[in-house]
Structure 1
Amino acid sequence: MLRRVLSTLVITVTAGLAAIPANAQSQSAAKVQPGEGRPYEIADSEVWDVPDPVSRRGYQVFVALPPSYAKEPQRRYPVLYVTDADYAFPIIRQINRRLNLDGPKVEEFILVGLSYAKGEDGAVSRRRDYTPTPNGPSTAPASAIHGQGQAYQAYLRDQVKPFIAARYRTDAARALFLGHSYGSLLGAQILFTEPGLFSGYILGSPSLWYDKRHALGLEAGYAAENRDLPAKVYLYVGEYEALRKGDRRYSQTVDMVADNRTLEAALRGRKYPKLSLKSEVLNDEDHLTVAPRGFTQGLKYLLPAR
């Protein structure tokens, strides 16, 4: 009788496991954390110091390698560089992991998080490094420094990308950029001044309002001198980022939905042969809630599984 019960249990458990996707089973073994009050660690991640010799500021890059990296030593991978890494790096890593749990939805890639300057508050770093001109908003602290986005762009080009290319098996033709808010303002600056630095861009809720819509001027300047824009671009913004006075769900200061549509219309009107563009207004989202959903849709657009 006991043998019959044990046999039934084995069959039941085995059948239950068979119903779980193999990928989900392999992904379920979480890293054992160190415990004893020590900080939580992100599994399978690396941190490297990559200082900027020009500004003499210390920066770090956070790296997460794809599951197949060690198993396929001849394979090269696209690289996704993300700004505001303290926030975006762990979120995008987990979004990517979950998208592929039940079969591949997104191609594997190397994830590189771009840190704030060492020893600085994030707001200080991003105001300075992600903005294109010194004309910051009136709401910023009087001591705030803006407008060093071109210097940071040069740092990405001359320091970060070569560091990653030398250390990892990267696909040189597929370096991708992701930014949100000021981070995507930086991305827009790169797209319209040095588009070949990246082959694809996820620009989320870009702060196009900055300095009298300076970024839209960059777009017009690029169009005046060029007949093509070889890039794949995903734009997203939240529904509640539209301006609607008196309704607290919506923006009360700037209309980022209208600005996003202006940029989309301008790019479509150029009829660039090698530009692939998708733009979405994501419903029921505001500037603070929209990023994870935008990240997800952007990954699916830029890196669909082959």
Structure 2
Amino acid sequence: MNVLEENPYILQMDTASFQRISAYISKEYGIKLPESKKPMLQGRLNKKIRSLGMTSYKEFIDYIFSEEGRKRELYNVVDLITTNKTDFYRESAHFHFLTNEFLPRYQSKRGRSPLKIWSSACSTGEEPYTIIIEMEEYKKRHPEFSYNLLASDISIRALQAAYQGIYEQSKISSIPLDIRRTYFLQSKTDPHVFRIKPVYRKKIIYKRINLMEDSFGLLKADYDIIFCRNVLIYFNKLTQEEVIGKLCQHLRPGGLLFLGHSESILGMQLPLKQIKPTLFQKI
């Protein structure tokens, strides 16, 4: 049984409304939303529609594209659609390579120069906080080491969650207990809720960046490390190449680009060489 079709309390998204919102998301953010994503959209948008006192998707779509709706709700809708699930230590081999192979070589060549890292699609913070943990653990062994970390996302809601750094116990259960005790505080009112300690939350600079826009080209720094994982899968091939090309403009020669496990740059004309699966170096 299709729950979305059988449940009368769940609003049904008509084809015209789906095409209108998916065309906007594709044009403005490069994210492709095939027909198969309609149940996902309904699941994410129904509560919002009900909260606005509306009774149909047509009414809702007309509103968010009106002058008033664009100001009040369109960003909220984009947040609901574009926020994606992530985890601490997702694709852990990336972090093992970073701390055990790349950083020792980096220090031998760059000395005390701060390592510049960009988590370009940070979602709700699991990736940048994993980076923080790894960098701080490395720093314990190499006190002279320093780093800067920028975390960005298209979703304001995701950035706010990342900034807060609050997670259910289930989200951090795979992290060793000694690491949890070092970097997290347990809630005094709910033992199943944890928060990144303030000293580590403050180490991250957050910025809203749409990877489709040229405006992120205003970033001044050349980064040594860029994470752009599990983002390209939402773009078509041409958009993928455009986005990675712009990222490369902010990656110093010899710097690393980390992609997701299902992402590839095969056949793209980019100044990158593959050194491991989903790991590329600027040439």
Greater Rg over alpha carbons, structure: 1
Q: Same fold (TM over 0.5)?
A: no
Q: Which has the higher helix share?
A: 2
TM-score by length of 2: 0.28
TM-score by length of 1: 0.27
